[in-house]
Structure 1
Amino acid sequence: MQQEKRLPRNPKEGLLYGTLISTMTVLFMTSFSTIYFAGTFNGDIAFSILKMVPIMWIIVMIIEPAIFGRLAEALTAKFTKPTDSFNSKILFRILFTVLGMSAAMTFLGDLVGNGYHTEIFSNWLQYWPRNFLIVLAAESLVIQPIARFVMVKMHDIQDKKALASIAG
């Protein structure tokens, strides 16, 4: 049986896959949000982004697999059938993951970037829909395809090595 080449095959590959997606998303959204609110880009803004990226990345690497990844898997299983296509399952998984993660990270990003303040909940209501749509588009069109491309190339290399060891 042909294994799926676009997704991780074991926990080590799963960590790589998740790390690629999380890193690209955190870099993109932290940069976007910081530049958007500053209204400009300069050395101070770049330094601010560099300081915030590791914190946001750690938060994402904890809450995605512990909470939102599990919820997304359960919801995807509920809304799809085993016979549904790879693309439909992936799109549901992306939708549910981005829904939860964008909600949490809009709140946590404001908290990490600005500390606790009285407008934190009204800011969340104002900025979450925008963040959700931006991340949904980025994940669906750029970030996830890049991560799946890496998986395909890695599996191609592994498959060639396995064939060579069998033949040789």
Structure 2
Amino acid sequence: MHGETRLPRNAKEGILFLLIISIISVNTIAPIIVGLERGFSKEVYIDTLKIIPFMWIIVVLSVRLVAGPVVGKVMPKFIGQTDGFNARVLLNTFLNVTVLSILLSIIGTWVGTKQISIEPFKNFLHIWPRNFGIAFWIELLVAQPIARFAMKTLHARQNRK
């Protein structure tokens, strides 16, 4: 996997990869979830745009401080040496989205309502599976492929130089 052109090869590329995925994710997942909660309208979308910068910071910090370390410890327990790139990416995406959707189902409610309450815990079994499903498919079909394409393009350009 070290020579894989679809993944970051150093810290600078890792930051770019994270930025691409997080910006796409926050700008698609948050409006869909808020729209399902409050209805899809221009006013709801504009309200969502106001919280997106805060959610983006929370997402990046959650990835770096919580999901990354947790997934890093869990992945080796499930991945074998003969498992291919797609299997590794799918499991990595599944585990990251699981951790992040659990955290953000709670924190996102607090940010969206501008108050810390027990409400997200009361509704957790209702909102988390929906949030997980939305986030998983956005990650798998949109954010991750775009970020991997960007890495592949970057590496091809570097190889030409």
Q: Same fold (TM over 0.5)?
A: yes
Aligned to 2:48: 49
**Distance in 2, Cα, partners of 1:123 & 1:144:** 29
**Distance in 1, Cα, partners of 2:135 & 2:46:** 23
Deviation at 1:155? 0.6
**Distance in 1, Cα, partners of 2:117 & 2:84:** 45
Aligned residue for 1:76, secondary structure, equals helix
Give the TM-score, by structure 1 length: 0.89
Pairwise CA RMSD of aligned residues? Answer: 1.4
Aligned to 1:39: 39
**1:86 aligned to 2:85?**
yes
**1:117 aligned to 2:117?**
yes
Aligned residue for 2:123, secondary structure, equals helix
**Distance in 1, Cα, partners of 2:83 & 2:134:** 26
Structure scoring higher RCO (CA < 8 A, sep ≥ 6) equals 2
**Distance in 2, Cα, partners of 1:33 & 1:135:** 9
Aligned to 2:156: 156
Aligned to 2:16: 16
Deviation at 1:118? 4.4
Q: Please tell me whether Structure 1 or Structure 2 has the larger radius of gyration of its CA atoms.
A: 1
Q: Report Cα offsets for 1:72-111 as digits up to 9, x if no partner.
A: 1221111012221011111111111000000000100101
Aligned to 2:73: 74
How many residues are paired up?
159
Deviation at 1:15? 0.3
**Distance in 2, Cα, partners of 1:127 & 1:101:** 13
Deviation at 1:136? 1.1
**Distance in 1, Cα, partners of 2:156 & 2:148:** 12
Q: Report Cα offsets for 1:115-148 as digits up to 9, x if no partner.
A: 2234221122210011111111111122111110
Read off the aligned partner of 1:153 and give its amino acid letter: T
Read off the aligned partner of 2:64 and give its amino acid letter: P
**Distance in 1, Cα, partners of 2:66 & 2:116:** 23
Give the TM-score, by structure 2 length: 0.93
